[in-house]
Amino acid sequence: SPGQGLLYPQRNETRDLIDLSGLWQFQMDPQGEGEAQRWFRKLPAPRMIPVPCSWNDLFDDAHTYLGLAWYRTEVWLPSGWRGRRVILRVGSATYAAKVWVNGTVVTEHHGGNLPFAVEITEQLAWDRTNVVAITVENEPRPERVPPGPPPGGGGVLGVAAGFPGTTYDFFPYAGLHRQVWLCAVPTVHIDDITVVTTIEGGDGIVSLKVATVGGYAGTGKARLDDIEADLGFRAGTAEAILRVPGARFWSPRDPHLYTLTVTLTDGVQISDTYSLDIGIRTIAVRGDQILLNGQPIKLTGFGKHEDFALTGRGLNLPMWIRDYELLRWIGANSYRTSHYPYPEEVMQLADQRGVLVINEIPAVGLNFADTEDLTRLRLAETRSQFRELIARDKNHPSTIMWCVANEPLVRPPDKDAPLSQPQEQKAIEAGTRFFQHVYDEVNRLDGTRPVTLVGVGGGPREWHERFDVICINRYYGWYALGGRLDQAAQVLARELDELHQAFGKPIIVTEFGTDTLPGTHSLPPEMWTEEYQVEFLRRYLDVAAQRPFMAGMQVWAFADFRTVQGVGRAGGMNFKGVFTRDRRPKMAAHFLRKQWTGM
Ligand code: GCB
């Protein structure tokens, strides 16, 4: 197996790649008969589907289908790959996947937004095409993360309860959402690199750990510009420290990246090499401030979604490039990967463009009033997804914080049977234990970044206690106090002051916003209009500006996005975007640009 590392695939003098993106064969399997009928060899009635892409917006009969579906493709391997290890890497399969190569099951994976890799050298043929088949399903099961709704009832908020049933409002897109790659690597190869940077005066200190597969016990080199260190491997791993005098520290203003190259070499021959771009920076919390390179930062920006017409949640690089352009245009320095990890390329772009990222796992819709069994299963799922996320994203300077959950809550599973006081207390304690475990695990995996939890309005305050930064989503003036913006601002101000008093930690409002139908206007401002969105945002930003302890304000949302069908979401859309789904600015976009850029 390829080890625990999730380094981004690379082509260089020792490594090669085949990107299997393109048209694959596709067939839904609602009866689950494909495996017994050996569909992993041949699909009986396939149609073509692009990979990567969600299937839901392509075929009418697949629109709300979340069950099992088959993907199949064929690939010839170059003869030059013989003698190397071949690894199959799936960028993201939402939610559960099983993979066959030439009829043999090679791996299974759970968790919809993170990559997985498996060595397939043994299963490959060199004299004919190889058949790769992958099943994907995205059934909303209660034990998953994000959890599906409890049996018999759906919906997160009363307003969003809809079809398909989910515990959140975004559309549960399904499919092979990112690239599938074949990677050829040397038998003994670099499996993982962990980089931690610190600052001493004007110098950058780059500490690295390298892990290999194949029990490498030789030597190697690490190089950054013209600075070099020797690596001596024992039991497959080595460590080194590089000092960069007068370093350029990574920041939104100067997102300077250094290329770090690690090489396995006996001094003459190179057996493997891998390069990655790193930023030298520190991130820390002190009192109520977040410090980047020792200086306080305030986050401006948005909660986002990976969502676009037709491609759904499939990798859409044109959309992402446009989004980064718009983030710059509007003067935002940050966003949150609500409510699941975004593509690896998108994290690389954040590094290059100096965007600060709150990196969130797909733990949205957790309800601690559900059974202990469900909580236990969700904890296991959360932990394994976190291991993968940190393995994938730990070297990105742009990731400044991990987020363990969005709006966990305590809600009676049956809305007609409210929880008793002891039941509610028990549920809150179950959540406290859950987050204690997750916090400790995240800290063990990466002790270099603050960890946060995003709390829901009216949710238990004690869940924030564990965490380094207090993130809250608030909708005074929308879900509560609709139409009463002055009153809403007062309630917000009072709550922020209380939170600051109670915790003395940095506070970020990670969501605040109003559904806004583009082109709808009113005077005086009324709900759903562009004027109302502007006035709502103005109030919130003013309240924050009067409170120097506030560490950031992220508007919900960057752009309008697809939701499930229901009475709370007109046209199957969440209209809280500052941009429309096709990225046209609403009035609020111009307002925020003035606020954030001074232009
Ligand atoms: C929230 C959720 C977000 C929803 C938003 C809304 O609190 O975190 O996923 O889209 O509210 O618009 O209701």
ipTM of the complex: 0.99
Torsion of CA 50, 56, 57, 63, to 10 degrees: 140
Residues 6+ apart with CB under 8 A from 127: none
Q: Is there an atom of ligand 1 within 6 Å of 576 CB?
A: yes
The reported pLDDT for the residue numbered 2 is 63
Which of these is catalytic: 119, 360, 407, 441?
407
Tokens of 571: 């046209």
Q: Is there an atom of ligand 1 within 6 Å of 307 CB?
A: no
Residue of 536, 550, 551, 558 lying closest to 489 (CA atoms): 536
169 CA to middle of ligand 1, Å?
A: 7
Angle formed at CA 372 by CA 377 and CA 386, multiple of 5 degrees? 35
Instruction: Give the three-class secondary structure for 521.
Output: coil
Q: Indicate the helix (H) or strand (E) that contains 463.
A: none
pLDDT in tens, the chain (599 residues): 467 899 999 999 999 999 999 999 999 999 999 999 999 999 999 999 999 999 999 999 999 999 999 999 999 999 999 999 999 999 999 999 999 999 999 999 999 999 999 999 999 999 999 999 999 999 999 999 999 987 755 545 544 468 999 999 999 999 999 999 999 999 999 999 999 999 999 999 999 999 999 889 999 999 999 999 999 999 999 999 999 999 999 999 999 999 999 999 988 999 999 999 999 999 999 999 999 999 999 999 999 999 999 999 999 999 999 999 999 999 999 999 999 999 999 999 999 999 999 999 999 999 999 999 999 999 999 999 999 999 999 999 999 999 999 999 999 877 778 999 999 999 999 999 999 999 999 999 999 999 999 999 989 999 999 999 999 999 999 999 999 999 999 999 999 999 999 999 999 999 999 999 999 999 999 999 999 999 999 999 999 999 999 999 999 999 999 999 999 999 999 999 999 999 999 999 999 999 999 87
Q: Is there an atom of ligand 1 within 6 Å of 169 CB?
A: yes
CB 188 within 8 A of CB 214: yes
CB 504 within 8 A of CB 551: no
236: left (phi over 0), alpha (psi -120 to 50) or beta: left
The reported pLDDT for the residue numbered 155 is 47
The reported pLDDT for the residue numbered 412 is 87
How would you class 577 by CB atoms within 10 Å of its CB: exposed for 0-12, middle for 13-18, buried for 19 or more? buried
Tokens of 170: 């975004």
Residue whose pair of structure tokens reads 């007068």 in the numeric block: 246
Q: Is there an atom of ligand 1 within 6 Å of 511 CB?
A: yes
585 CA to middle of ligand 1, Å?
A: 20
Residue whose pair of structure tokens reads 């005098």 in the numeric block: 245
- The DSSP secondary structure of 427-471, one letter per residue, reads HHHHHHHHHHHHHHHHHHH-TTS-EEEEEPTTS-GGGGTTSSEEE
Q: Is there an atom of ligand 1 within 6 Å of 168 CB?
A: yes
Strands (E), 317-377: 334-336, 356-360
Residue of 57, 77, 83, 278 lying closest to 182 (CA atoms): 77
Q: Is there an atom of ligand 1 within 6 Å of 406 CB?
A: yes
**CA nearest ligand 1 atom 4, residue:** 169
CA distance 183 to 77: 11
- The DSSP secondary structure of 74-141, one letter per residue, reads EEPPPGGGTTSEEEEEES-EESEEEEEETTEEEEEEE-TTS-EEEE-GGG--SSSPEEEEEEEE----
Strand partners, 451: 402
Which of these is catalytic: 306, 511, 530, 535?
511
* Catalytic status, residue 13: no
Strands (E), 474-557: 507-511, 550-556
362 CA to middle of ligand 1, Å?
A: 14
137 CA to middle of ligand 1, Å?
A: 25
The reported pLDDT for the residue numbered 416 is 79
Q: Is there an atom of ligand 1 within 6 Å of 569 CB?
A: no
The pTM of the full predicted model, rounded to 2 decimals, is 0.97
Residue of 306, 331, 305, 301 lying closest to 317 (CA atoms): 306
* Catalytic status, residue 407: yes
CA distance 370 to 348: 38
User: For the chain, how many residues are written?
Assistant: 599
Give the pairing type, strands 203-213 and 189-200. Answer: antiparallel
CB atoms within 10 A of CB 215: 9
Residue whose pair of structure tokens reads 């190569």 in the numeric block: 101
Q: What does the H/E/C string look like for 497-515?
A: HHHHHHHCCCEEEEECCCC
The reported pLDDT for the residue numbered 296 is 98
58 CA to middle of ligand 1, Å?
A: 26
CB 76 within 8 A of CB 351: no
CB 220 within 8 A of CB 231: yes
Q: Is there an atom of ligand 1 within 6 Å of 407 CB?
A: yes
466 CA to middle of ligand 1, Å?
A: 23
Mutate to test the pocket of ligand 1, among 157, 169, 307 (most ligand atoms within 8 A of CB): 169
Which structural domains are found in the chain, ordered by start?
A: 16-138+173-185 (2.60.120.260), 189-281 (2.60.40.10), 298-597 (3.20.20.80)
